[in-house]
Amino acid sequence: MPLEIDEYASAIQQILSDKLLVEVDSMDADLLQAGLLDSLALIQLLVHLEERFGVKVSVDELEIEDLRSIHSVARMIARQKEAKKAASAEQNGVPVHG
């Protein structure tokens, strides 16, 4: 797994622990199936993710699979940050290569 995703995953685990008081044993544990996150906790998590990583997570574009585990949330953040970076580069006239 790319280093940045591991870094995001560690930060997400810290958010879950410190802000939502949710302890997760594994980065791949199913947060929803295990009952660790309910609908209110999911919204709180999204707010904390936006504050911590500077990305806007649109509820309309959100897929439930993006929230299944810490690693899936980390991958979603990586995609959001990459999209934000690409959009910023395009606005500045910098060609973006994918």
Which CATH number covers residue 29? 1.10.1200.10
Q: Are the beta carbons of 13 and 24 closer than 8 angstroms?
A: yes
Residue 97 covered by a domain? no
> 45-96, pLDDT tens digit by residue?
999 999 999 998 887 888 999 999 999 999 999 999 988 888 887 777 766 5
Number of Cβ within 10 Å of residue 45's Cβ equals: 21
Residue 76 in domain: yes
Contact 90, 83 (CB under 8 A): no
Residue range of the domain that includes 8: 3-91
The angle that helices 3-18 and 70-91 make with each other, rounded to 10 degrees, is: 120
pTM for the complete prediction? 0.86
Domain assignment present for residue 98? The answer is no
Q: What is the pLDDT of residue 42?
A: 92
Q: What total number of domains does the chain contain?
A: 1
In a domain, 46, yes or no: yes
89: enclosing H helix or E strand: helix 70-91
pLDDT of residue 11: 97
Asked if residues 44 and 63 have their Cβ atoms less than 8 Å apart, the reply is no
